[in-house]
Amino acid sequence: MTQLKKVINTYQLWSIAVGLVISGEYFGWATSGTIGFLISTLLVTVMYVTFIFSYTELTAAIPDAGGAFEYANRAFGLVGGFIAGFATLVDFLLAPPAIAYALGSYVHFLNRDILEIPVAISVYVVFIAINILGIKESARFSLVVTILSVLELVIFMVVIFPYFKTENFMAHNPPKLTIDGIFAGIPFAIWFFVAIEGVAMVAEEVKNSKITIPKAYISGIITLVILALGVMILSAGVGDWRKLSNIDYPLPETLSMALGKHSYLAKLFASIGLFGLIASFHCNTISYSRQIYALARAGYLPDFLSVVNKKFQTPHWALIVGGLVGFMAIFTGTTSQIIILSVLGAVIMYGISMLSLIVLRKKEPNLERPFKVPFYPLSPIIAFVLSMVCMVAIVYYNQDLGMIFFGGMLICLGGYYLKNKAHARHK
C-alpha cells in the first residue's frame, strides 16, 4: 500500500493546529448570559490546556494517523479503540459541515442574494479537490490562511477595544448565576478550542515528529487561548451581546454595533473574515480524511477507504466519502445541533485518551516518550474529570442528540462485532 508522505514542518503544523480551531472565534456562540459563559469558557480553557499537554505526550510517542483510536486500541484493545475512533470520527466529520454553513452565512451577510447551502456545498467540492492534490500543497495553503486569520482577529480586537464597556458585558444577565447557566454554555465554549486534537491525524506526515509535534501543539494552544478569551470578552462588551447569540456572523455584527450598521469596515471584515472559516474547513478536511483512512486501515471501516492515491499520496476515497457525509449533515440540522454532536464526540474522545495515557504509562513503560506531560498524573486526571463534566452537561441539556450519538455508536459497534464474527467464521 502507498504510504503518506512526511513533509509537514513546525510552522505548517502550528498553522494546522490553529487553523483547525480558529473558526470557533467566528461563529457558534450561544449563551444565556455573559458571566456564565465566561465561567464556562475558563473551565473549558483549563480542560484544553491540561488535555493538550497530556495529548502531546501520546502524539509524539505514537505518531499514527489514527490518533486517539490508536492510543485507546493499545491501551484497552479493540472495543476501546472503536469507541475512541467513533467519537473522533463524529467530532471531525460534523465540524466541517457546521463551518461550511457558517461560510455560507458570512457570504449571505455580504450579499443577500446568495444562499447559504449552495456556498456550503461548493466549499466542500473545492477543498476536497485541493486536498486530493497533496498534503505538501495543503499545508502551505493552511499556513497562509491561518496567519491571515490570526492577524485579522488581532486587528478586530484592536478596533473594538475602545468600544468595550464593562456595563455592556454585565447587562442582561440572569439575576442569579446558576450551575445551569454555566453548563448550558459548555458546548459553545468548547467550540473555541475543539478540533486542535486533529494534529494527531497528520502525525504520520510530519517531519522530525519528536520535536515538531510538541512545539506545534503547545504554541498552538497558547495562540488559541489568547484569541478565544480576547474575542469572547471584548465582543460581549461592545453592545447588546444578545444580538450575537445564535447568529452565524457575530464578528461583523459586533463591528456594526461599534461602528454603525452601514460601516464599510464591518463589510470588509466579513469579507476577509472568510479566511478564518476557510482555514478551519481546510484543516478539518485534512483531519477527517486521515481519521477515515486510519480506521479503514485498521479494519474498522471498508478497506477501499484506506486506499492512497498513487500520484498524490493522499487518501482520496476518504476525502470524498467524508464529504458526502458532510453534504447530508448540512441538510439535516441547524448549525447549533451539528456543533453539539461534534463537541460530544470530542469530549468522549478526550476522556478515553486521558485514560489511555495513564494505562500506557503502566502498560508500556519503555515506550520512547520525546515529550512528557508536566505534573503527571494531575494534568491528565484534571483533563479527564473536566471532559466527563462537559459530557454530562452536553447530554443533560441535549438528551435527544445524546441518544442519537450513543445509539449510533452502539449500532456501529454491533455491526463491527458481526463483521468480525463473520470474518472469523470464514477463516
pLDDT bucket at 422, cuts 50 / 70 / 90: low
Judged against a pLDDT cut of 90, whether residue 164 lies above it is answered with yes
User: pLDDT band at 334, cuts 50/70/90?
Assistant: low
* CA atoms 69, 307, 123, 275: torsion sign: positive
Task: Assess whether pLDDT exceeds 90 at residue 242.
Answer: no
> Quick one: average pLDDT of 132-159?
87
Model confidence at 32, in pLDDT bands (50, 70, 90)? low
- 264-317 confidence digits (pLDDT tens): 777 777 676 678 888 889 888 988 998 899 888 888 888 899 998 888 888 999
**What mean pLDDT is predicted for residues 146-171?**
92
Burial track 179-203 (b if 16+ CB lie within 10 A, e otherwise) = eebbbbbbbbbbbbbbbbbbbbbbb
For residue 4, being part of any structural domain is answered with no
> What's the confidence (pLDDT) of residue 335?
67
Q: Give pLDDT, residue 247.
A: 74
**192 close to 21: Cβ distance less than 8 angstroms:** yes
- Residue 27's CB is within 10 A of a number of other CB atoms, namely 25
Given a cut of 90, is residue 337 above it in pLDDT? no
Q: Please check whether residue 307 lies inside any domain of the structure.
A: yes
**What distance in Å separates the CA atoms of residue 162 and residue 154, rounded to the nearest whole number?**
14
pLDDT at 213: 92
Q: What is the pLDDT of residue 406?
A: 94
pLDDT category at 227 given cuts 50, 70, 90 is very high
2 falls within a domain: no
Question: Which pLDDT tens digit goes with each residue over 51-86?
Answer: 999 999 999 999 987 889 999 999 999 889 999 999
Among 40-54, 169-183, 207-221, the range scoring the smallest mean pLDDT is 169-183
Q: CA 332, CA 342: separation in Å to the nearest integer? A: 14
Query: Is 206 a domain residue?
Result: yes
Q: What is the average pLDDT score of the chain?
A: 88
Query: Is-contact 7 143, C-beta < 8 A?
Result: no
CATH (domain of 381): 1.20.1740.10
User: Is residue 318 domain-resident?
Assistant: yes
In a domain, residue 1? The reply is no
pLDDT category, 414, cuts 50, 70, 90? confident
Cβ–Cβ under 8 Å, residues 106 and 275: no
Domain count, the chain: 1
In the predicted structure, residue 237 carries a pLDDT above the cut 60? yes
Expressed as residue numbers, the domain containing 35 is 10-425
Predicted local distance difference test score (pLDDT) of residue 101: 87
Place of cell 452537561: 393
* Whole-number Å distance between alpha carbons of 275 and 279: 6
pLDDT of residue 272: 66
Q: Is residue 335 included in any domain, yes or no?
A: yes
The pLDDT score that the predictor gives to residue 421 is 65
Q: How confident is the model at residue 1 (pLDDT cuts 50, 70, 90)?
A: very low
3 lies in a domain? no
